[in-house]
């Protein structure tokens, strides 16, 4: 398998997560994975002029603003075949950027208390989830504004505090590019979870058309 060049982008103004520390941890974990070379960045300029050297980009961001040039460049990159992986607060980012959220098909709409819950596999045949079992996680269970008809669901979780089930991971295409969103990722309690890490690795490879 050819090396996958991946950008872990955490340019963020959020205050409730250690995006920089967690993003560096994810970057280091990916760099220990065979066939993945990951770079870490908080520089927004790379979005407007620098994505072409990467097979995919992972957004672990919160709040923030995209300039028109940055949003247009990002969306053109994905339309042309670049892979996009949105993690956790990527759905709570760039709230004025309609094109970004249309591409992602997800917009943060609250979350449960920080708690233990089970992530269930909705599709056991997909390359990202094949062979994985349901697993326990300690995290925020995200609620999203999301069109279920536009994406294929891979994981879900039951929120006992609301007696509701919510999608935890989904994918779709945007132009020629693959888009994958995974709702977990609050802090080290879940980042160190072996199932979480395997999904991150597989998600990177899948949006890069390697699996």
pLDDT > 80? residue 112? yes
Domain borders along the chain are 4-107+167-207
- The whole-angstrom separation of Cα 80 and Cα 74 is 10
pLDDT band for 191, please (50, 70, 90 cuts).
Answer: very high
The answer to whether residue 67 scores a pLDDT higher than 90 is: yes
For 162, which DSSP code? Answer: T
pLDDT tier, 59 (very low <50, low <70, confident <90, very high otherwise) = very high
Task: Output the furthest CA–CA distance in the chain (Å, rounded).
Answer: 45
Lookup: tokens for 153: 């669901």
Cα–Cα distance for residue pair 131/135, rounded to 1 Å: 12
The Cβ of residue 137 has, within 10 Å, a number of other Cβ atoms equal to: 22
Per-residue confidence (pLDDT) for residue 12, from 0 to 100: 74
- For the structural domain made of 4-107+167-207, what CATH number should be given? 3.40.50.880
| Long-range own/partner contacts, residues 166-169 (CB < 8 A, 24 or more apart) | 166/141, 166/142, 167/122, 168/119, 168/141, 168/142, 169/128, 169/199
Mean pLDDT lowest for which of 16-25, 82-91, 117-126, 153-162? 16-25
Averaged pLDDT, 10-16: 79
Q: How many CA atoms lie within 13 A of 84 on its CB side?
A: 30
Mind listing the pLDDT tens digit for each residue in 118-177? 999 999 999 999 999 999 999 999 999 999 999 999 999 999 999 999 999 999 999 999
Which pTM does this prediction carry?
0.97
């Amino acid at each position: 398998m050819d090396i996958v060049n991946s950008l872990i982008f955490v340019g963020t103004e959020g205050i409730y997560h250690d995006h920089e520390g967690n993003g560096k941890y994810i970057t280091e974990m990916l760099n220990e994975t065979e066939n993945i070379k990951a770079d870490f960045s908080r520089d927004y300029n790379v979005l407007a002029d620098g994505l072409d050297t990467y097979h995919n980009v992972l957004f672990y961001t919160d709040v923030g603003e995209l300039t028109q040039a940055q949003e247009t460049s990002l969306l053109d990159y994905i339309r042309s075949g670049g892979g996009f992986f949105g993690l956790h607060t990527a759905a709570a980012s760039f709230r004025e950027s309609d094109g970004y959220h249309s591409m992602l098909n997800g917009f943060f709409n609250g979350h449960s208390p920080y708690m233990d819950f089970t992530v269930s596999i909705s599709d056991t045949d997909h390359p990202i989830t094949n062979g994985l079992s349901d697993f326990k996680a300690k995290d925020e269970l995200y609620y999203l504004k999301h069109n279920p008809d536009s994406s294929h669901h891979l994981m879900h979780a039951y929120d006992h505090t609301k007696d509701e089930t919510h999608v935890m991971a989904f994918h779709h295409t945007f132009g020629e590019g693959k888009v994958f969103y995974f709702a977990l990722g609050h802090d080290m309690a879940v980042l160190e979870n072996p199932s979480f890490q395997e999904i991150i690795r597989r998600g990177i490879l899948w949006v890069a058309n390697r699996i």
